[in-house]
A and B are shown apart, each in its own frame.
Chain A
Amino acid sequence: MTHEEYESLTTKKLKKLIKHAKITLSELQEELDNRKIDNQHSEIDHLEDHMEEVEHGFTNFITFLKDVLKEKK
């Protein structure tokens, strides 16, 4: 909708549209929050994989040192 079209709306209609927009916004926010929480639950379901990742501390450090040396060159 353009600014001119908004101007043509009655105040009552405008208030109704704002109310709808607010409801939609809060529903969208809720949906977004739920997705974030679902993602977090799903990530925790893979905790064993993360535990394995954590085991490779020394390998990680060597990889990092290689990258540091590359950056230096």
Chain B
Amino acid sequence: MTSKSKDNNNSTDAINTIKSITQWVAIATLVYLLISSVGMIGAGFKGATKGQASELFQFATNPFMGLIIGILATAMIQSSSTVTSIIVGLVAGGLPVEMAVPMIMGANIGTTITNTIVSLGHVRKKKEFRRAFASATVHDFFNVMAVAIFLPIEILFHPLEKIGGYFAGLLVGGENVSVKGFNFIKPATKPVIDFFADTSAIISENAQYIILIIFGIAIIFLAITLIGKLLKKLMVGRAKAIMHNAIGKGPVAGIFSGAVITVLVQSSSTTTSLMVPLAGTGVFRLKQIYPFTLGANIGTTITALLAATAISGDSAVFALQIALVHLIYNSSAVLLIYGVKNLRKIPIRGALWIARVATERKTLALLYILGVFFGLPAILIFITNQF
């Protein structure tokens, strides 16, 4: 190697290192903003409702309405992490956990629209489309099935709320402490929250808390989108290594790698959408994609847990409780549905069936998407309004 090419290599390495450091600093800043914005929503919601949050959300006392809110909000902004973080903020601001649980379940269904839309890109190649659509809709079937099993149980006995509450109680300390050992969060996020609270008050004194909530939601959305984009670039190598390692090792390795990659890229939609082209080519079978998708469901719960660390004081326990409910719910659904052989097969059969039908008549694919993500919520709203 000549000294000139050596110098070139060294300068390229240096540029890459600086680039990488800059990206990591940006991620750290965005995570800080994300945590701060959850605090902003909590503070704004508390201020806006003056402790009467449950009255404001009276319409969501019906769990189906909560479910619908979760589905629609997530389907529209295509990010369950954003919605669950907002829910954590709302719970910190006084929204009862009982009302928030169906919303979290709805977010799980709403998020599956992203990979379904990705699968539509294969529409011009019949076989490819059938495989891609099946790999996307297996996630829909699984999440709808999980809600069908767990929501009625939750309405009757509140097991998720109780278990989440128990563990949150163990983890959260007393006044002015967020999560045990992490009591630095409040003083660290205070300057940002105060800045936006003051700005909101300057804009309008009457609507300052509403403006603070809007600021919080906008920052969460922006932070999560940018974190996802940056992590996708930074983590692609690591994701490849994890996937290479999981090949031929069975479903548990698939679930585990799906969860780890989702934690790394902070987005279940990214992980599940990545599986769609892999399935479309026919190189990966639906049976292999399925556990990976379930892992994404578990991995995505990390964002709400991260968001919960933003909350301190009396409401910290509830914020952590709802974040833990998300983790417990998604893990239990995987254990139950994937663990029981007969239940495990249902999402696969459903996905293969809808993919076969949709390949023959594309209008049905469109009707399916509109039906699951918008029609079903509309029907539920209609039915619940009747009682």
Interfacial residues, chain A to chain B (CB-CB below 8 A): 36-37, 39-41, 43-45, 47-48, 50-51, 53-54, 56-61, 63-65, 67-68, 71-72
Contacts and interface: CB of A to CB of B under 8 A. Distances in A.
Contacts of A58: 117
Nearest to A66: B123
B381 interface: no
Given A39-B283, A47-B243, A51-B232, 13 more contacts: A36-B283, A40-B247, A43-B283, A57-B118, A57-B121, A58-B117, A60-B117, A63-B124, A64-B120, A65-B366, A67-B124, A68-B363, A71-B362
Contacts of B120: 60-61, 63-64
Contacts of B244: 41, 44
B315 interface: no
21 contacts: A37-B247, A39-B283, A40-B247, A44-B243, A45-B240, A47-B274, A50-B274, A53-B121, A54-B273, A57-B78, A57-B121, A60-B117, A60-B120, A60-B121, A63-B120, A63-B124, A64-B121, A64-B365, A65-B366, A67-B362, A72-B363
Please provide the 5 A-B residue pairs with the shortest distance between their CB atoms, ordered closest to farther. A60-B121, A64-B120, A50-B277, A54-B273, A43-B283
B310 to A, nearest CB: 30
Interface string B253-282: 000000000000000001001101110010
Interface SS of chain A: helix, strand, loop or mixed? helix
A51 B236 CA distance: 9
B117 A61 contact: yes
A3 to B, nearest CB: 37
B284 interface: yes
Contacts of B118: 53-54, 57, 60
B114 interface: yes
A50 B363 contact: no
Task: Name the prevailing secondary structure of the B interface residues.
Answer: helix
Interface in B263-311: 270, 273-274, 276-278, 281, 283-284
The size bracket of the interface on B is: 20 to 34
A12 to B, nearest CB: 39
Interface string B217-259: 0000000000000001000100110011001100000000000
A42 to B, nearest CB: 8
A37 B246 CA distance: 11
A45 B281 CA distance: 14
A73 to B, nearest CB: 11
A44 B363 contact: no
Contacts of B236: 47-48, 51
B361 interface: yes
Contacts of A44: 240, 243-244, 247, 278
Interface in B106-161: 114, 117-118, 120-121, 123-124
Nearest to B265: A51
Given A39-B283, A47-B236, A67 B247 contact: no
Looking at A37, A41, A64, A68, which has the most chain B CB atoms within 10 Å of its CB? Answer: A64
Given A57-B118, A61-B117, A43 B278 contact: yes
B361 A56 contact: no
Contacts of B114: 57
Contacts of B276: 54
A41 B361 CA distance: 33
Nearest to A54: B273
Contacts of A72: 363
A66 to B, nearest CB: 9
A40 B117 CA distance: 24
